[in-house]
Structure 1
Amino acid sequence: MAKVIAGATVSLDGYCQDANGSSAALYADFEELTGSGYMQRVADETGAVLMGRRTFDGAEDPDDYADSYEFQAPIFVVTHRPPTVEPKRNERLWITFVPDVEDAVRQAVAAAGDRGVTFVGGADLFRQLLAGGLVDELAVDVMPVLLGGGVRLFDDGTAATLEKISVEEVGVRTCLRYRVVPATT
């Protein structure tokens, strides 16, 4: 069964967006990152993608997902506002809009098969997944920048025990990978 991998990039002080709502400083290395072996391995392990509506809307043209998105796999967007026009698809990538977080995870896990479900973007959805016990692994990239304010990734009081899987340097970023240890009752 597929594992759910919640990924995010944060500043050294824990923010995933600055005070103006931008994450540009966290992706100053975007060209280097997308061409790296690290990103190729992440893409290779991805059998489905889970994202929130704001992240989906971040594309200038939704049809670009089918044409050039680094994760060529089915995408499940959690939203109560699906677009009126279905985005372009190809034989590997299509987009499904799902109003319920748990249902979106179930559909993504089924679509991923024996590969992973990669979550991209959105602190709110990230927190919902983690608080709901829906995350198997965390993949947190740390950029060497201090934003000093904005949206924190871990800011809702959710506690979790983590077990280190790996630490990797990709250019200036440090890529941390943890397994979420299930809570015992």
Structure 2
Amino acid sequence: MATVHAGMAISLDGFVADRKGSAARLSDPETLRGSAYMDELIEQTGAVVMGRRSYATAEDPDSYVGAYEFQVPLFVLTHTPPRVMPQQDENLTFTFVTDGIESAIGQARAAAGDRVVQVLGADVIGQTLRAGLADELHLDVVPVLLGSGLRLFDDPEVEGIALKRIGVREVGAVTALRFLVRT
């Protein structure tokens, strides 16, 4: 059965986006593209769960096909699906899930088979952790201070979640941390 890995890039001071909502300073596509780290991540991923905000970061939703690093089924947690379905192909499909995180994770696990479900986006990661659905938490700590913006863990309900460090890896300037989520 698929395992669920929740994670994303985060600044040293705990933000996943700056005060204008941009995560550009947390991303270094040139360092990641073609790296062993990214190749392994792509290879192990069988499905992705993201929120509507993460989905909307693409100016053209049709650009996901062929351009997005994860060419797998994508499950977008949303209250309102788009009126027009974005382009899909035999590898990358979209499912807009309106009935909650448990449903999104369940559908993604079924699609992923024995591969990993990647959970992306601050709100969706928080929902996944609170619901006890994450097996691992992955944080790519970028040596940047944003000062303000969107915090990943700005939720008192995550206080009791226990973590065990299971990996540390340097990828360029980024420190990739892996934690087992203990329920």
- When the two structures are superposed, what TM-score results if normalisation uses the length of structure 1? 0.94
Equivalent residue number for residue 120 of structure 2: 120
Equivalent residue number for residue 131 of structure 2: 132
Equivalent residue number for residue 142 of structure 2: 143
* CA RMSD of superposed structures (Å): 1.0
Q: After the TM superposition, which of the residue ranges 29-38 and 144-153 deviates more from structure 2?
A: 29-38
1:13 to partner: Cα distance: 0.7
Provide the identity percentage.
54
Paired with 1:50 and 1:22, the residues of 2 have a C-alpha distance of 20
Paired with 2:56 and 2:130, the residues of 1 have a C-alpha distance of 24
Deviations 1:23-50 (A, max 9, x none): 11111x2221122110110111100000
Equivalent residue number for residue 9 of structure 2: 9
Question: Please, which runs of 5 or more residues in structure 2 have no aligned partner?
Answer: none
Matched residue type, 1:10: I
Give the 5 Å matches for 1:27-176.
27=27, 29-99=28-98, 100-121=100-121, 123-157=122-156, 158-159=158-159, 160-176=161-177
Question: Please, which runs of 5 or more residues in structure 1 have no aligned partner?
Answer: none
Matched residue type, 2:117: V
Paired with 1:15 and 1:55, the residues of 2 have a C-alpha distance of 15
Deviations 1:81-131 (A, max 9, x none): 11111111111110000012110110000000000000122x112111111
SS in 2 for 1:63: helix
Deviations 1:45-100 (A, max 9, x none): 10000000111111121111112111111000001111111111111110000012
Matched residue type, 1:4: V
Paired with 2:147 and 2:87, the residues of 1 have a C-alpha distance of 39
Matched residue type, 2:63: D
Equivalent residue number for residue 20 of structure 1: 20
Paired with 2:107 and 2:15, the residues of 1 have a C-alpha distance of 29
Matched residue type, 2:108: A
- When the two structures are superposed, what TM-score results if normalisation uses the length of structure 2? 0.95
Q: Which runs of 4+ in 1 moved over 2 A?
A: none
1:20 to partner: Cα distance: 1.7
